[in-house]
Chain A
Amino acid sequence: MSNIKHRGNVEGGEVKGETPRARRLSGRVLFTLCLLPFALYLSGCRQDMQDQPRYEAYEPSKSFSDGQASRPYVEGTVARGYRDVNTAYYTGKNATGGGAGAAQPATGGGGLTAMTSAGANTPNAQGANAGGSQTGGDVNVRGNVAGNLPGGASGQSGTPGSVNEFPFAVTAKDLDRGEERFNIYCSMCHGQTGYGDGMIVRRGFRRPPSLHDDRLRAETLGHFFDVITNGWGAMPDYSEQIPPRDRWAIIAYIRALQLSQNTPAAEVPENLRNQRKPGPGTPTTEGGHQGTGGERTP
């Protein structure tokens, strides 16, 4: 506005007709003002509210060097409510270290080491390497160790120092949950019955051992927990996909599966006997396997 006035004054000094020129200018201003409502109307077509200046999950960001708006956890972060006060619950291992001293890996000399490594084991750690940094490297090594074990005959667990009891009382609800989670995450390779004939195996993935072979029936609960958490051989870790509580539920269901496939017909309650269907494996004739898991590692 001041600019327009200024120009009018300067030009007005030369030409005599100052008033009509100023009137013409104010007419233009008026015309512009009349157009303004339409401009406002057009601005309604913008998508400012549709796409607000905030990040949604997984959106790219220019603020961070990796270009992601979702930030990975700083290494060693423990989510609220996941402080590792219960080592057995979060690692499947004893806090005091295992009894099997000879087979103890160098890093697992005491429960404390296991504790710190599990600190990063938070569920749903999208993009974060949950506990993988510490144990990821030696998965294959430990897998090979297990491969050398003579089929569980030694009675030694593949995971030294692993616990062999559930950290909470397992209910029927947990078993249902375990069945559901097993069928989502495990059955793709291990098969819904645990014989290792899942769809991914049929497509060419390395065949996992049957959950019903002697070694795995004698294994500790903590061993299964460790395998789900850190992987084993060709099996990748599932620590990001399965939170600890669900891992225990899955283990309970694995025990139920083992029980279902390895119990002689004579031990099945009579009213349930006619519901039994023959599975792809041969049920063993030896004594029924105890629900909460095999012989304890000496």
Chain B
Amino acid sequence: MPQIFHRSTNTLAKLSIFGSIFVLLFVTWAVAEINRSSWNTGAFDEREQPVQFSHKHHTGDDGIDCRYCHTSVEVSSNAGLPPTKTCMNCHSQLWSDSPYLEPVRASWKNNKPIEWTRVHDLPDYVYFNHSIHVAKGVGCSSCHGRVDEMPLVYQAASLQMEWCLACHREPERYLRPKSEVFNMDWQQENALAENKTAEQLARGRQLKVDYKVRPRAILESCSTCHR
């Protein structure tokens, strides 16, 4: 009986066994990349809101400070969504008959809050506190990106654990002086990316001491965020 397989298939079989290692590695890599892609994390997805509110206009053009509306960002875990009253502080007179603002006026008249669409939603098993980050020199734009250039706000970071840990492991790459925390322009060329320049590292290390940032072992500990 003649042999079914030619002798050369031996080599093929060996090669395919060897190649399967690379196939597995590739599949693992592909799954990881898909997992951290914006398709999965929802990053860069601009969310429609019930009011055509533009952060670019209010913050970028008019120069309103973040804290005018997000009043509790320095004292609470939650940055605070403004009540309709805050909108009416100005819009009782400005654009007071614009159709774009009808949902705001309806909310004010009926005493019903505006139902905004949430953009940043961390999993419930993560403890996050805005005030401690602001107090230790983590800028708004380090996590939220250039909100002052966003007509519609989108999530600028993946919000995945590896992203949190990048800063918790080496805060000196990201820290800025407290006076610059609310400055959207600070290091605008890489608001989100880590800064590896010697200047930033030297400043970051000093700020870590000045602001009493906890040591890496504590920042990296599971129970710091999962409590």
Contact = CB atoms under 8 A, between A and B. Distances in A.
Interface of A: 49-52, 54, 56-58, 60, 66, 68, 124, 126-127, 183-185, 188, 199-200, 203-206, 234, 236, 240-241
Interface residues of B, number: 28
B206 interface: no
B62 A234 contact: no
A127 B76 CA distance: 16
Contacts of A204: 93-94
Nearest to B85: A240
B125 A49 contact: yes
Contacts of A183: 65
Contacts of B112: 66
Contacts of A126: 72, 80-81, 83
A54 B80 contact: no
Contact of B123 (A49, A68, A203): A49
A206 B62 CA distance: 16
- In this complex, the member of B75, B113, B123 whose beta carbon has the largest number of chain A beta carbons within 10 angstroms is B113
Interface string B58-78: 000011110110011001101
Interface of B: 62-65, 67-68, 71-72, 75-76, 78, 80-81, 83, 85-86, 88-90, 92-94, 112-113, 115, 123-125
Interface of A is mostly: loop
Nearest to A243: B75
Nearest to A202: B62
A185 B94 contact: no
A56 B81 CA distance: 12
B153 to A, nearest CB: 16
A200 B81 contact: no
B123 A50 contact: yes
B78 A203 contact: no
Nearest to A124: B72
Given A58-B113, A124-B71, A127-B83, 10 more contacts: A54-B124, A57-B78, A66-B112, A68-B113, A127-B113, A200-B94, A205-B93, A236-B85, A236-B92, A241-B68
Contact of A185 (B68, B72, B83, B85): B68
